[in-house]
């Protein structure tokens, strides 16, 4: 008996399914490589339901594994009175970001070191903040593997800056995820006082 071949619509659905699976696998490799727990992502791994006795807010799995159902994140939208190019350059050109830093709470701090190539490293505020450039789309997007000096070795978060043009202004749609639990308030204060306030002054 001849096998029935799937129709065009069914083939498209199967292709989309495999594309989604491939994306999920690749995303998992990215976050595991950055040393981050998958706190914000669901799982298709079968396991027992119910909270863990060790860590509230988690689901216990076989082999002493856990998936956290709790996560912290920061979302901000900051309007800067400057073009996207000026904002992008101020965040990615070491000499310019050094001037931004010195308009904030670190007026005498050492110069920033910032690569403008994807995969390159950056170090700011005397090494208190460091990481890698994951994606750089000039005048549009910056994605960084970002860490603070006091975090455990190998722990990185994701900082994403999306630049939206609004006439003569730029809206920075900013998301910070994957940082250690309990750090949100301190990080939020740092973004406001060390980044956005001095950036506005620099680009005024």
The DSSP element (H or E) to which 165 belongs, if any, is: strand 157-166
CA distance 84 to 49: 47
**Which of the four CATH numbers 3.30.530.20, 3.60.15.10, 3.40.50.300, 3.30.465.10 does domain 73-203 have?**
3.30.530.20
Least confident of 1-10, 85-94, 107-116, 157-166: 1-10
Q: For the chain, give the percent of residues with pLDDT over 90.
A: 62
Question: According to DSSP H, which parts of 93-181 are helical?
Answer: 94-102
CA distance 151 to 148: 6
CB contact at 8 A, 106 and 97: no
Q: What are the boundaries of each domain within the chain? A: 8-68, 73-203
Q: Is 83 helix (H, G, I), strand (E, B) or coil?
A: coil
Angle value at C-alpha 155, between 151 and 158, nearest 5 degrees: 110
Q: How many alpha carbons fall within 13 Å on the CB side of residue 75?
A: 1
Give 106-157 pLDDT, tens digit per residue.
888 899 999 999 999 999 999 999 999 999 999 999 999 999 999 999 999 9
Q: Within 10 A of 193 (CB to CB), how many other CB atoms are there? A: 13
The residue among 44 and 102 whose pLDDT is bigger is 102
The 3-class SS string of 136-182 reads EECCCEEEEEEEECCCCCCCCEEEEEEEEEECCEEEEEEEEECCCCC
Q: What is the pTM of this model?
A: 0.70
CA distance 24 to 33: 14
């Amino acid at each position: 008996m001849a096998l029935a071949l799937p129709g065009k619509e069914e083939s498209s659905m199967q292709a989309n399914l495999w594309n989604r699976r491939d994306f999920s696998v690749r995303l998992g490799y990215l976050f595991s490589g950055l040393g981050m727990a998958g706190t914000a992502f669901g799982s298709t791994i079968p396991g027992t339901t119910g909270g863990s006795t060790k860590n509230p807010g988690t689901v216990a799995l076989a082999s002493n594994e856990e998936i956290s159902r709790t996560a912290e994140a920061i979302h901000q939208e900051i309007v800067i009175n400057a073009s996207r190019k000026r904002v992008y350059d101020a965040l990615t050109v070491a000499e310019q970001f050094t001037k931004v830093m010195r308009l904030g709470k670190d007026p005498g701090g050492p110069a920033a070191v910032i690569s403008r190539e994807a995969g390159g490293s950056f170090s700011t505020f005397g090494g208190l903040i460091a990481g890698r450039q994951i994606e750089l789309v000039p005048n549009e997007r910056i994605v960084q593997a970002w860490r603070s000096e006091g975090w455990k070795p190998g722990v990185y978060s994701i900082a994403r800056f999306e630049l939206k043009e609004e006439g003569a202004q730029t809206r920075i749609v900013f998301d910070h995820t994957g940082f250690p639990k309990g750090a949100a308030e301190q990080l939020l204060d740092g973004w406001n006082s060390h980044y956005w306030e001095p950036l506005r002054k620099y680009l005024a």
